[in-house]
Amino acid sequence: MKRIKELFEKKHAGVLNVYCTAGYPELNSTVGVMKSLQANGADLIELGMPYSDPLADGPVIQASSTKALQNGMTISKLFEQLKDFRKEIDVPVVLMGYLNPLLQYGFENFCAKAGEVGIDGLIIPDIPMFEYENEYKEIIKKYNLDFIFLVTPETSQQRIKKLDELSSGFLYAVSSSSITGSDKDFSPVEIYLEKLKELKLKNPTLVGFGIKDKQTFQTACKYANGAIIGSAYIKAIENGNTEEATRKFLEGVLN
């Protein structure tokens, strides 16, 4: 059974997905950070592939991307680092990134390599629904990868249902149409999440953008199967000692 599907069958609520940037804070931090996340309670890891023009990302994740690129992180280097990661990490791992570098690498090569090393799914925010269906869907399925679409408060009900139908693994419910990591009042978000819940979608939903601590995590979990923390975690590990920083950060969210 696919790892993501298995996770949600075992755990229906309170699923914690943590985002980290490959090659950050140091080039060789990637697998160590993932091991620390698994050891301290992350149920799922979203591994960001650094890109020079990350449209959906706020300043914190953008800065981590820039640092990772300066460190020398590339897609080839990432696959090298991930070659044996499944010997130590058994939680599901999804790669998050943008289409341009994947096309430069070769889209099918990329999917083949991701499947080979043990990646479970992809989040590529700038693949539109039409292109996904007509150009990329079959390639992604061929290598047994899940594909996760994002929905926002502005997405129409009809479109949410279509994106849910096309997604596998889970649906990424963006809590607002702003960029990641922004501070905001969470109450309008709750109305939107309540509406999503009422749609009875086929995929589990995880809420992202603006989830940064125990309170926002618990609020998101009232309406969805879990939540995604990104910018707040990246901030927590920026000064090195990722093991200790990860332990402290996740304790603060989960305990």
Query: ω into residue 101 within 30 of 0, thus cis?
Result: no
Coil, helix or strand at residue 151: strand
- 57 part of the active site: yes
Beta-bridge mates of residue 95: 47, 122
CA-based radius of gyration for the chain: 17
| Catalytic residue, candidates 43, 46, 120, 146 | 46
| Contact assessment for residue 227 and residue 216, using Cβ atoms and an 8 Å cutoff | yes
What is the side-by-side strand order in the sheet with 93-96? 146-147, 121-123, 93-96, 44-48, 15-21, 226-229, 205-208, 171-174, 150-151
Is residue 88 part of the annotated active site? The answer reads no
Catalytic-role residue among 57, 120, 146, 164: 57
CA distance readout (Å), 130 to 88, 137, 152, 159: 37, 10, 18, 12
Q: Which of 23, 18, 8 is nearest to 41 (CA)?
A: 18
Neighbours of 251 (CB within 10 A): 12
Give the catalytic positions in this structure: 46, 57
